[in-house]
Amino acid sequence: MSFDPHIAVTRFGAGLSPHHALPSDVASILAEAAAGDPLAARWPLMKLQDVIKADEDIRVLSGIAHKKRGTEEADAAKTARKAIFDAMRDAETYDIGGLVARMLAQPYGLGERLVQFWSSHFTVRGRGGALQYGVGTLASVAIRPHIMGRFEDMLLATVMHPIMLLYLDQAQSVGDNSRTAKLRPERGLNENYARELLELHTLGVDGPYTQDDVRELAEVLTGLTFQRGEGTIFREIYTEPGAETVLGKRYYGEELAPIKTVVRDLAAHPATGAHIARKLAVHFVSDTPDEALVAHVAARFVETQGDLAAVMAALLEHPAAWKIERDNVKWPLEYIASSLRVLGMTEAQMAAANVRQIDKIVRRPMVGMGHVWQRPNDPSGLEEEDESWITPQAVASRINWAMNMPRRFGIQLPEPAELLLRIAGPSAPPELAFAVNASESAREAVGLLLASPTFQRR
Amino acid sequence: MTTDLNRRRFLISALAGCSAAASPILTPVTMASAPWDNRVVVIILRGAMDGLDAVRPVGDPDFAGLQDGKLRGGEEEPLMLDNFFALHPALSDLMPLWQAGELSFAHATSTPYRDKRSHFDGQMVLEAGSGNDVDGRPRDGWLNRLMQIAPGVEASTAFAVGRSRMAILDGEGPYSLWEPRTGLNVSPQAERLLELIYHDDPLFRDAATQAFEIVGDIDAEPDPSDEMSADMNMMAEVSGNGSLNAEVAKFVVERLRNETRIATFSINGWDTHVRQGQTLPNRLRGLARTILMLKAGLGPVWSKTSVLVMTEFGRTARINGTGGTDHGTAGAMLMAGGAIRGGRVLGDWPGLRVADLYQGRDLLPTRDIRAYAGWTMRGMFGTSSSDIERVLFPGLELGADPRLLL
């Protein structure tokens, strides 16, 4: 088992494409991912400060609509508020178009796959107001800059992101002995974020922490909160006085210093390395990954204290990463984007799509496939088990999409025989070749190819 | 069509790996065939419902001291269930069921899961039913293990409803999973070719076979009788925001009025860390509506039905600093249906003094929630005690019969 260009772009990239040559080695895939986001200027994603501004504007307008209800001023405020909501909703949809465009434009596409992987690892949901549409800013601010950087920097950036602090209730948590709690005894500690930080983001649920560590970490985090109209701030009067002990180490100090220290310590913990290594191997290679592969990646994580470029190199250099069997199934967004990509759609064609079309071809079909975009039920992230994605109704949704959407979107469909070659190479499974020939129409043949396990697996 | 359906049924059952005893080759298949006449609905509340708020132990002298007056209690008159427990006012729509003996609760109950208080592991333990063993993912869910040992079951006997897989019913035994708002429109030729290209990939093959089968079943079913339509209309009247979607509920009751005997689905959003006084009532009202929709839609079948409402764990006895509660241990479960012996709050009460609380913070579990589920299965489906203690819930001691059913 060794490097294979076909596996390289399907398993570790955005998928096959008639427009991009296959990579010749692992180094070029890693180099592309490390080169950042070349489409940032052409496809600007939503900005965090705009989301915070919209949130504040909505608060002000709601205040006017409430206090002056019955007046023309209130009606104008409601109209203005609706316009902001509509613009935010459109911006969120447009951002999905931006992600698909990136997956069409990048020659290999490991970077976009990593953005999706880490966005799932740090799953958030926008709480209320305009923030519900701003989930994507976590990826732009906290994830994109660090996919080939240091895990501790990524983790700290998520800790500082207002949508994370709101989602996991950190923004409202105050120390039980803080000055705020002394004045307002009903306020106090909320341990939700501390628990998920340990369980989901760093050590993993089997990691070496106890209920006391959760509690003490929650106390370290006090002071970190959200100010409407501003963003993440540190509020001294929320802090629990004194030192706290997390995993046997004492943390104390001024303002953000102990928070930053504990976050960096958690990021570098060997249990975090083991947790992240397994998640990467499961996501990219197999739900039941080779233990030697996991150990190899985990060791690199620990050696380099979470240098993600080195960690990804460790994953891609290991022979078990190149196993022939395609154990995993594409996630819904990846499935849709790789379908458009293999059909030959270009980034320029994507740029011509309006918000309604993006909604119709990407966001809404994803719901049927089991992924409600940016509206997770809980912070545990997208499922990795293939059985979660290939359920009867999800497979029906994938079949419906494959059969109907590309044509409705006005994509010029390739010749079925050519698409077969593109997807399966010269050694296509005989039943797939037979099915393509036996189809009643070219559209159906293309649909069958996109719906086939050969294309859906990676 | 019939032949085609039977062939598909054979395929799905055979592919689902069920035992020879359950194979339709040996047991003739008809639409109405089902091993039991009783129905069980299992509703999973994901996020950990606060049992101390839903069913308030107002008779416990220490209860008031855990409150800030706004969270559990407030201005609304408590709905006294007996001289100790009061129902959350947002569940008031269920009081007629309580009075009719069609609603019960079990309190101070939990799975064997302890200490890490992770939603995801907690749900895994609840759905696997296998005790506190969370090393790796469990192989299957406890309802699925029932499907593996019960004779004469087929994929349509047990339904998980929704867009996500339900671990409680997942496994080697036959079952169905469907979200009723999904259509599947392909030509008969494309359907055959899809069967061909999925044939050697069990994951895709099983899912697609079932999708085509369910779509075929729904198309093939006769129009509901006038009586059933009338029940459906009543159901529409009680449906509303925050509860099971009316279309989904309609699908659930249609299945249960036909050959389905077990239905399971989940309701999300119970993780009330913040402002529980505002967030929990909506959820509870939705739950009440869901149960009333089932009762209305099931019509005469309601008398043969037992609904179990379970959650992964309870929440802290005290209010946290943000007007909510954090992850705890024991909580409450709800049982409803015409088949149950209602009007009771079951379970030994552990008390709420600090020394009584689990680790000084959570309601102490006094009975394994699996015992209530086990006794329900025994009474509704005649599952033997040894199968319950060894197969469904390994390591469980069923204990004294709580006499859950009529």
| Inside any domain, residue B213 | no
Contact A388 B165 (CB under 8 A): yes
pLDDT for B152 equals: 86
Nearest chain B residue (CA) to A171: B322
8 Å CB contact of A453 and B198: yes
pLDDT band at B72 (very low <50, low <70, confident <90, very high): confident
**Number of other CB atoms surrounding residue B239 within 10 Å:** 21
Q: Which residue among A189, A378, A429 places its CB closest to the CB of B321? A: A189
Mean of the per-residue pLDDT values of chain B: 84
Tell me which chain A residues have a C-beta less than 8 angstroms from the C-beta of B117: 195, 211
Using H for helix, E for strand and C for coil, what is the string for B308-362?
Answer: EEEECCCEECCCCCCECCCECCCEEEEEECCCECCCCEECCCCCCCHHHCECCCE
Residue B1 has pLDDT above 70, yes or no: no
**Partner-chain residue, chosen from B163, B204, B271, that has the shortest CB–CB distance to A390:** B204
Residue B9 has pLDDT above 80, yes or no: no
Q: What is the largest CA-CA distance in chain B?
A: 70
Query: Taking the alpha carbons of A47, A51, A56, A61 in that order, is the dihedral positive or negative?
Result: positive
**Confidence at residue B321, expressed as pLDDT on a 0 to 100 scale:** 87
Residue A387 to residue B167: CA distance in whole angstroms: 10
Per-residue pLDDT tens digits of chain A, which is 458 residues long: 799 999 999 999 999 999 999 999 999 999 999 999 999 999 999 999 999 999 999 999 999 999 998 899 999 999 999 999 999 999 999 999 999 999 999 999 999 999 999 999 999 999 878 899 999 999 999 999 999 999 999 999 999 999 999 999 999 999 999 999 999 988 999 999 999 999 999 999 999 999 999 999 999 999 999 999 999 999 999 999 999 999 999 999 999 999 999 999 999 999 999 999 999 999 999 999 999 999 999 999 999 999 999 999 999 999 999 999 999 999 999 999 999 999 999 999 999 999 999 999 999 899 889 999 998 989 999 999 999 999 988 999 999 999 989 988 888 899 999 999 999 988 899 999 999 999 988 889 999 999 999 999 99
In a domain, B201, yes or no: no
pLDDT at B25 over 80: no
CA distance B140 to B168: 7
Q: SS3 sequence, A326-375?
A: CCCECCHHHHHHHHHHHCCCCHHHHHCCCHHHHHHHHHHHHHHCCCCCCC
| Disruptive mutation site among A238, A391, A405, A439 for chain B (greatest number of B CBs within 10 Å) | A391
A331 phi/psi in degrees, rounded to 5? -70, 160
Residue B404 placed within a domain: no
Which residue of chain B has the CA closest to A196? B118
pLDDT at residue number B279: 87
Q: Where are the alpha helices (DSSP H) in A285-342?
A: 291-303, 308-317, 332-342
**pLDDT score recorded for residue B229:** 55
List, for residues A412-422, the tens digit of each pLDDT value: 899 999 999 99
Quote the tokens at residue B55: 């069913």
Residue type, A326: R
- Among residues 277-336 of chain A, which lie with CB inside 8 Å of chain B? 329
Q: Give the pLDDT confidence score for residue A286 in this predicted structure.
A: 97
Residue B396 is predicted with a pLDDT of 93
Q: Which residue of B has its CA nearest to A182?
A: B321
Asked if B165 lies within 8 A of A391 by C-beta distance, the reply is: yes
B164 closest CB neighbour out of A205, A370, A431: A370
Instruction: Name residue B345's beta-bridge partners.
Output: B105
Number of domains comprising chain B: 1
Contact A329 B271 (CB under 8 A): no
Find the residue in A nearest to B121 (Cα): A205
Is residue B21's pLDDT more than 50?
no
A contacts of B268 (beta carbons < 8 Å): 377-378
The rounded distance, in Å, linking the Cα atoms of B236 and B320 is 38
Using a CB-CB distance cutoff of 8 angstroms, which residues of chain A are in contact with residue B170? 387
How many angstroms separate the CA atoms of A434 and B287, rounded?
A: 51
Q: Is A177 in CB contact (< 8 Å) with chain B?
A: no
Give the closest-approach CA distance of B163 to chain A in angstroms.
Answer: 6
Name the band, by pLDDT with cuts 50, 70 and 90, for residue B11.
very low
Q: Which of A275-284, B263-272, B375-384 has the lowest mean pLDDT?
A: B263-272
Distance from CA of A176 to the nearest CA of B (A): 7
- pLDDT confidence of B105, banded at 50, 70, 90? very high
Pick the residue of B11, B116, B166, B178 with the most A CBs within 10 A to test the interface with A by mutation. B116
Q: A395 at the B interface (CB within 8 A)?
A: yes
Interchain contact, A435 vs B268, CB within 8 Å: no
Task: Give yes or no for residue B23 having a pLDDT over 50.
Answer: no
Taking contacts as CB-CB distances below 8 angstroms, the residues of chain B near A176 are 321
Decide if B191 is inside a domain: no
- Alpha carbons A103 and A14: distance in angstroms, whole number: 6
The answer to whether the CB of B190 falls within 8 A of the CB of B208 is no
- CA–CA gap between residue A152 and residue A202 (Å, rounded): 10
Residue B197 lies in a domain: no
Mutate to test the interface with A, among B165, B311, B357 (most CBs of A within 10 A): B165
* CB contact (8 A) between residue B322 and residue A172: yes
Quick one: pLDDT at residue B70?
A: 62
Inter-chain contact B121–A205, Cβ cutoff 8 Å?
yes
Yes or no, beta carbons of A395 and B208 under 8 Å apart: yes
- pLDDT band with cut points at 50, 70 and 90 for residue B265: very high
Per-residue pLDDT tens over the stretch B269-319: 899 998 898 889 989 999 999 999 999 999 999 999 999 999 999 999 999
CB-CB under 8 Å, B203 with A387? yes
Q: B136 pLDDT band (50/70/90 cuts)?
A: low
What's the pLDDT score for residue B38? 96
Q: A27-31, A61-65, B53-57, B214-218: which has the minimum mean pLDDT?
A: B214-218
B-chain residues within 8 Å CB-CB of A440? 187, 189-190
In total, the C-beta contacts within 8 angstroms joining chain A to chain B are 164
Confidence band, pLDDT 50/70/90 cuts, at residue B30 = very low
**Any domain includes B192:** no
| Three-state DSSP class for residue A442 | helix
For residue B32, pLDDT over 70 is answered with no
- On chain B, the residues whose CB falls within 8 A of the CB of A191 are 320, 326
User: Is there a contact between B194 and A399 if contact means CB atoms under 8 Å apart?
Assistant: yes
Work out the minimum CA distance from A451 to partner chain B, whole angstroms: 8
C-beta neighbour count of B399 within 10 angstroms: 11
- Per the domain annotation, does B333 fall within a domain? yes
Task: Residue A197: name the closest of A131, A250, A247 by CA.
Answer: A247
Q: Which two tokens stand for residue B165?
A: 């897989």
Which H or E element spans position A430? helix A430-438
Measured between CB atoms, which of B116, B197, B322 is closest to A435? B197
Tell me the shortest Cα–Cα distance from B178 to chain A, in angstroms: 6
Which of B320, B358, B361, B362 is best to mutate for the A interface (most A CBs within 10 A)?
A: B320
The verdict on A225 touching B (C-beta cutoff 8 Å) is: no
Contact: B196, A394; criterion CB under 8 Å: no
Which residues on chain B are in Cβ contact (under 8 Å) with A444?
Answer: 186-187, 189-190, 193
Q: What is the pLDDT of residue B311?
A: 97
Full residue range of the structural domain in which residue B92 is found: 2-184+223-392
CATH code where residue B43 lies = 3.40.720
**Average pLDDT estimate for B45-52:** 95
B68 neighbourhood in chain A, CB within 8 Å: 186
What's the pLDDT band for B233 if we cut at 50, 70, 90?
low
Is B203 within 8 Å of A367 when comparing Cβ atoms?
no
